[in-house]
Chain A
Amino acid sequence: MKSSFYNTPGKHSGLLAWVLSTDHKRIGLLYLSCMTVFFLTGMTLGLLMRLELIAPGRTLMAASTYNALFTLHGVIMIFLFIIPGIPAALGNFMLPLQIGAQDVSFPRLNLLSWWFYITGAAVAITSLFTGGGAPDTGWTFYVPYSIRTGTNVSLAVFGVFLMGISSTLTGLNFVTTIHRLRAPGMSWFRMPLFVWSIYATGWVQLLATPVIAITLLMLMAERFFGVGFFDPAKGGDPILFEHLFWIYSHPAVYIMILPAMGAVSEIIPVFARRTIFGYKAIAFSSLGIALFGYLVWGHHMFTSGMSDEARMIFSLLTFLVAVPSGIKVFNWVASMYKGSIRLDTPFLYVMAFIFLFSIGGLTGLVQGALATNVHVHGTYFIVAHFHYVMFGGTAFAFFASLHYWFPKMSGRMYHEGRARVAALVLFVGFNTLYFPMFILGWQGMPRRYYDYLPQYQTGHVIATIGSWVLATGILLMVYNLLRSLKDGEKAGDNPWGGTTLEWKTTSPPPAENFEKIPEVTTGPYNYK
């Protein structure tokens, strides 16, 4: 079928056919391309930081530049890449396809969300070059420093605020879409698990993001008008800012990881040729994570000043949130049992995901326990932990689903050999970079420090070498995918033998997604 959505630009042509399109597939690809650019930028900043840390003392840049770099690295990777991440890019493209719809419920709102995202990103990037210079507070914008610093915090915070609106509206759109636009016969328990995870994520986006929005507005009111909410001299309480910040930012961690888990639940049945084990358990554990995720924010603040009762309750709840995550991991592994496993690239990434996410998750419990938390709080241990969860978890699942859905999105197949090499290099580089950080942190190396004592140098050198390997893997992967866009083999409609609805239409899909809206009669993973 020749009339793919690429050949159906709509009212406008050229670039406008993309940035003014209300087609969810085009919007998904807009997000994807922007995020790729931001990801590579954030990666470059990370490389520079690692290079600075290869030896104690000044190597490459001044301490203030280093402070700006880690702030930017955090802001870009978190707000520009990983929060929109899988839902906005791949979710936009795949969600309507997977439920057999022609588009999302509010296509124009969807486009508006992208405009909020890109405007927010532009504002955040403008903040680097204007005013008092690049923000140097870290991505958490903790008061009182964020109120007193002369750097351009207000503008950066406003950018994040705009991106928050984008995220909220995307969540609203997806939740409504899933409620209203499922194809005939697609009951809730016939939905693919990726859809379930997007649904849970949508609720988190809806219910958590407004809290960060108001917190950032309060921060701006503080900087512009000196209202005093967080200023002890006026009776305010800086710790309250931390509470408000983490009331959003901890659930935000689940905005990042839930869709990744959903994507993994899609890929495993297809490449193991087995129906998923424990479908309902996985679906409900997504909701469980979304629910418990709200109640654990205090574990970011165990050393900030809190009553012992509160700390014990937060610690207990933190342990409870590990239960639904564990349910997922066991079900994924059980799904492979007696399967006919194909070790194609998406599956390689998924296995890396399970391995790295398990390390990240279990080290999370080390920090959730009060006694050990005091020892590792604010050290490289936490840096290693969240990179294992966010990068080793979410980003690896992102790469997995990127390869999995590449043929559907582009109509072509990527080069399998190069992709496998890239996956292997990525895996090796990742562990070389981040595993030493666990040890460094355990030995007492504090996070965000520009300089360090000589005894930490071995760990830092290994990590820096790892960063080069990791970057090589990423560049190879990006190169492979971009090149395959041009000269990859034709993929066909269903190269993996997938059973969910997106594989029932052409690759790439037509503008209206399906020639005929499919009728659903079975569950999503119709294997043995």
Chain B
Amino acid sequence: MNDIAQTASPHKDYAGSKLGMWLFLFTEILLFGGLFLVYSVYRSMYPQDFHAAAAGLSVVLGTVNTVILLTSSLTMALSISALRRGNSRRSVLLQSATIVLGLVFLVNKYFEWSGHIHEGLYPNAPELLTRSHGEILFYGLYYVMTGLHGIHVVVGLVLIGIMLTLTMRQRITGADYVKLENAGLYWHLVDLIWIYLFPLFYLIT
């Protein structure tokens, strides 16, 4: 029952693919975990400074971006269930919507960053160095953590872009959609990390 003829064809091990993806997501969480650790150490060292620095971030922009990213996770999940029901066209639409929302998130982020840079609040800036130690570290963490998250958003968008092409070429179908599902898992991770970044930087003031 297990001779080569049967198993030599490219095997599809869905459970294996998803297991691999979940393990990869663990490593991503640990990657950010290092930064969350540094954040918590410095927050406990400089609670007052962190409090003051957080007031400089725009809660409105942060909230808007949170809503955008959460919505994009929804469209991603819907695109998978659409494909599962065999509706490839709707899946393509929903994947495109995810990409658009992701791009809007990045544009927002761009304006937010350039605003701070304009105020002279970026690592090693003369203006920032006149501030207290905790504020310097707060902004250092802000740029590194949202920056690394931003890179993950870009990677996610490229990934979904590839999935979109594959879906349009009928390489991802309702019968074989594990790639899309894994891309979706990755996108949810990007979302999940933001859900922690948002309160830590914007809300806890």
- Is B30 touching A210 in the complex (CB atoms < 8 A)? yes
A215 CB–B CB distance under 8 Å: yes
- Is A217 touching B26 in the complex (CB atoms < 8 A)? no
CA distance A44 to B141 in the complex (A): 42
- Is B31 touching A214 in the complex (CB atoms < 8 A)? yes
Which residues of chain A in 205-229 are interfacial with respect to chain B, using CB atoms and an 8 Å cutoff? 206-207, 209-211, 213-215, 217-218, 221, 225-229
Question: B142-181 interface mask toward A, CB cutoff 8 Å, 1 = contact, 0 = none?
Answer: 0110001000000000000000000000000000000000
Name the distance in Å between B20's Cβ and chain A's nearest Cβ. Answer: 5
CA distance A244 to B27 in the complex (A): 15
Name the distance in Å between B6's Cβ and chain A's nearest Cβ. Answer: 10
B24 CB–A CB distance under 8 Å: yes
- Is A206 touching B20 in the complex (CB atoms < 8 A)? no
CA distance A227 to B32 in the complex (A): 17
Contact of A234 among B7, B16, B136 (CB under 8 A): B136
Q: Kindly report which residue of chain A lies nearest to residue B31, judged by CB atoms.
A: A210
A338 CB–B CB distance under 8 Å: no
Q: Give the residues in chain B near A106, CB-CB below 8 Å.
A: 20
Name the distance in Å between B2's Cβ and chain A's nearest Cβ. Answer: 4
Which of A262-270, A277-285, A511-519 forms part of the interface with chain B? A511-519
A168 CB–B CB distance under 8 Å: yes
Q: Give the residues in chain B near A519, CB-CB below 8 Å.
A: 2
Name the distance in Å between B146's Cβ and chain A's nearest Cβ. Answer: 13
Q: Total contacts A to B, CB within 8 angstroms?
A: 114
Q: Give the residues in chain A near B204, CB-CB below 8 Å.
A: none
Count chain A CB atoms within 10 A of each CB in B19, B45, B132, B136 and give the residue with the most: B136
A417 CB–B CB distance under 8 Å: no
Q: Give the residues in chain B near A226, CB-CB below 8 Å.
A: 123-124
Q: Kindly report which residue of chain B lies nearest to residue A102, judged by CB atoms.
A: B7
B60 CB–A CB distance under 8 Å: no
CA distance A515 to B3 in the complex (A): 7
Question: A414-442 interface mask toward B, CB cutoff 8 Å, 1 = contact, 0 = none?
Answer: 00000000000000000000000000000
Q: Kindly report which residue of chain B lies nearest to residue A103, judged by CB atoms.
A: B11
Name the distance in Å between B201's Cβ and chain A's nearest Cβ. Answer: 15
Which of B33-41, B71-79, B110-118 forms part of the interface with chain A? B33-41
Question: A178-209 interface mask toward B, CB cutoff 8 Å, 1 = contact, 0 = none?
Answer: 01110110000000000000000000001101
What count of chain B residues pass the 8 Å CB interface test?
Answer: 40
Q: Give the residues in chain A near B140, CB-CB below 8 Å.
A: 221, 227-229, 234
CA distance A145 to B28 in the complex (A): 29
- Is A235 touching B46 in the complex (CB atoms < 8 A)? yes
A176 CB–B CB distance under 8 Å: yes
- Is B38 touching A218 in the complex (CB atoms < 8 A)? yes
Question: A223-267 interface mask toward B, CB cutoff 8 Å, 1 = contact, 0 = none?
Answer: 001111100001111001000100100000000000000000000
Q: Give the residues in chain B near A244, CB-CB below 8 Å.
A: 34, 37-38
Name the distance in Å between B170's Cβ and chain A's nearest Cβ. Answer: 22
- Is B123 touching A228 in the complex (CB atoms < 8 A)? yes
Q: Give the residues in chain A near B64, CB-CB below 8 Å.
A: none
- Is B26 touching A206 in the complex (CB atoms < 8 A)? yes
A175 CB–B CB distance under 8 Å: yes
B198 CB–A CB distance under 8 Å: no
Name the distance in Å between B128's Cβ and chain A's nearest Cβ. Answer: 9
- Is A206 touching B23 in the complex (CB atoms < 8 A)? yes
A166 CB–B CB distance under 8 Å: no
CA distance A240 to B44 in the complex (A): 14
Q: Give the residues in chain B near A168, CB-CB below 8 Å.
A: 27
A172 CB–B CB distance under 8 Å: yes
Given A179-B19, A237-B41: A221 and B144 interface contact (C-beta under 8 Å)? yes
Question: B1-31 interface mask toward A, CB cutoff 8 Å, 1 = contact, 0 = none?
Answer: 0111001100001011001100110111011
CA distance A225 to B140 in the complex (A): 9
- Is A176 touching B27 in the complex (CB atoms < 8 A)? no
Q: Kindly report which residue of chain A lies nearest to residue B8, judged by CB atoms.
A: A512
CA distance A236 to B144 in the complex (A): 14
Given A206-B26, A214-B32, A214-B34: A234 and B13 interface contact (C-beta under 8 Å)? no
Q: Give the residues in chain B near A500, CB-CB below 8 Å.
A: none
Q: Kindly report which residue of chain B lies nearest to residue A184, judged by CB atoms.
A: B2
- Is B20 touching A211 in the complex (CB atoms < 8 A)? no
- Is A512 touching B20 in the complex (CB atoms < 8 A)? no
- Is A516 touching B4 in the complex (CB atoms < 8 A)? yes
Name the distance in Å between A398's Cβ and chain B's nearest Cβ. Answer: 26
CA distance A247 to B41 in the complex (A): 15
- Is A176 touching B137 in the complex (CB atoms < 8 A)? no
CA distance A221 to B7 in the complex (A): 48
- Is A210 touching B28 in the complex (CB atoms < 8 A)? yes
CA distance A207 to B19 in the complex (A): 15
Which residues of chain B in 173-192 are interfacial with respect to chain A, using CB atoms and an 8 Å cutoff? none
Q: Give the residues in chain A near B31, CB-CB below 8 Å.
A: 210-211, 213-214
B89 CB–A CB distance under 8 Å: no
B133 CB–A CB distance under 8 Å: yes
- Is A172 touching B4 in the complex (CB atoms < 8 A)? no
Q: Kindly report which residue of chain B lies nearest to residue A177, judged by CB atoms.
A: B16
Residues of B within 8 A of A (CB): 2-4, 7-8, 13, 15-16, 19-20, 23-24, 26-28, 30-35, 37-38, 41-42, 45-46, 123-124, 129, 132-134, 136-137, 140-141, 143-144, 148
Between-chain CB contacts (< 8 Å), 28 pairs: A172-B20, A173-B20, A176-B16, A180-B15, A180-B19, A181-B13, A181-B16, A207-B26, A210-B28, A213-B31, A214-B31, A214-B33, A218-B35, A218-B144, A225-B124, A228-B140, A229-B38, A229-B140, A229-B141, A234-B137, A235-B132, A235-B134, A240-B41, A244-B38, A247-B34, A515-B4, A517-B3, A517-B7
Residues of A within 8 A of B (CB): 102, 105-106, 109, 168, 172-173, 175-176, 179-181, 183-184, 206-207, 209-211, 213-215, 217-218, 221, 225-229, 234-237, 240, 244, 247, 512, 515-517, 519
